[in-house]
Amino acid sequence: MENLIFYRYYKIYLIITFILTTFYLLSLNSVHSYNAMSEWVINYQGGFVRRGFIGEIFYIISKYINVNLKFSFSIVQIVLYGLLFFYFYKLLLKLKYSKLVLFVLFSPVFLFFPLAELEAIGRKEILVNLLMISLFLLKIDEYKKLFFFFVASLIVLLTHEIIVFYFLNFLFFFILIKKKNNSKYNLICAGYFILLFLATILLSINEYTQTDKEEMCNALLNDFNIVCGFQAHYVVNNVSTYVNEVSWNLEHYLRNLFIYIIGFGPLLIFSYFTKYNEEKCKNIVTKIPLFLVLFILSIFNLIIFLISVDTGRYFHLSYSNLVILIFGLNYLNLIVIDYEKINNFEIIIFKDSKILFIFFFTVICFTWTPKAVFKEDLGSIPHYRTLQKIPNFTDNFNNLKLINKK
């Protein structure tokens, strides 16, 4: 009975989150200065450039059928979020209700974060999470999954190189799904990841000049009346430029440590009460406890903090990817969750008190959120702020255009 109530209300929560996401995407994409859209429209009109693959495809299609490019990408973003919520809910159906699961699902760095911090909404990194989900839901053997991952990863890599920080997450998945050691499988797996890593290096050293960027921006202005935004100007920069932007002090370290402990803590605790299903998987990685694997993966994901100021976005991406990973492993019966131990843990923490549970749940999950950039203080009461600012965004819809008018 608890499971049915839990699934029903969380489905409603996901639907409301999707509706709000759609509203804000359409509103934000109607203005010139929105950062996420300025990243999606990067293309090859000025020459080959990192992050330009998807932009070039939709540039050509939108120009051919005379549809506004920003409207095309608005539909793409909405569809991607719809798929993410729908397929995540499918993974969720294999879980049993527990209070700890609620803390995992309502973490301030999870699904609602982009609505609380609109700078993070509609970003290309959603493709990384969709790729992870697809690997659990595709009904094909591990060799076909490897090939699918390789092709899809190349497309994602050419769209945004952030996926390189998640290769270890995917590698863990592919090692785990192979029940027995197999030299052919290991060789193919290693070969794919080496090729992807080499492609990442080639992307990073590709020369893209100011002249190339101006040619791309002129094409966007002439063909779609789109003014290049911040992200389009950013592709000219190299890694050293990003490193120079990152300057942390003690306050930044302490705040982001707090975000990690409180935001990721419930997931790491949940994973502590899991073990590998030895009937399904038995290889070298199963010697490492899953909670330790998740901790290592999260640290590897967050190495990007060395070259990026957008810590809130990447906390969100790493956490979301790891939640999908552990729920997906449960979906495939590759792990076993010890609900009895979880229940005993909850009794110790909450003393069988509903009031104590509601207090901790409210404070930890609904009173704060990270901001997008590492220098900013914590945000407060994210769900309230998301609803409160709706009237400020309704007027933007007057600028939304379906047909391309130069």
Q: In this predicted model, what pLDDT tens digit does every residue of 126-159 receive, in sequence order?
A: 999 999 999 999 999 999 999 999 999 999 999 9
Q: What three-state secondary structure class fits 275? A: strand
Contacts of 91 (CB under 8 A, 6+ apart): 133, 136, 137, 324, 327, 328, 330, 331
| Number of domains present in the structure of the chain | 1
Tell me what pLDDT residue 30 has. Answer: 82
Q: Name which residue leads in pLDDT, 242 or 329.
A: 329
Tell me what pLDDT residue 354 has. Answer: 92
Within a domain: residue 404? Answer: no
230-241 mean pLDDT: 72
Within a domain: residue 405? Answer: no
Within a domain: residue 406? Answer: no
pTM, two decimal places: 0.94
Residue type, 331: Y
Tell me what pLDDT residue 240 has. Answer: 62
* Predicted confidence (pLDDT) at residue 244 exceeds the cutoff of 80: no
Q: Name which residue leads in pLDDT, 150 or 283.
A: 150
Within a domain: residue 74? Answer: yes
Within a domain: residue 167? Answer: yes
42 falls in which pLDDT band (50, 70, 90)? Answer: very high
Phi, psi of 184 (to 5 degrees): -65, -45
Q: What three-state secondary structure class fits 367? A: coil
Contacts of 402 (CB under 8 A, 6+ apart): 67, 68, 71
Residue type, 32: H
Tell me what pLDDT residue 337 has. Answer: 96
- The residue among 174, 166, 96 whose CA lies nearest residue 124 is 166
Rounded to the nearest 10 degrees, the angle between the axes of helix 290-301 and helix 250-272 is 150
Q: What is the mean pLDDT of the chain?
A: 90
Distance CA(302)–CA(314), nearest Å, equals: 7
- The residue among 149, 121, 156, 152 whose CA lies nearest residue 316 is 121
CA dihedral over 64, 67, 69, 73, signed as positive or negative: negative
CA-to-CA separations, 344 to 16, 338, 339, 363, in angstroms, rounded? 33, 10, 9, 22
Distance CA(328)–CA(326), nearest Å, equals: 5
Q: Name which residue leads in pLDDT, 398 or 78.
A: 78
Range of the domain at 355: 2-399
Distance CA(399)–CA(406), nearest Å, equals: 14
106-115 mean pLDDT: 96
278 falls in which pLDDT band (50, 70, 90)? Answer: confident
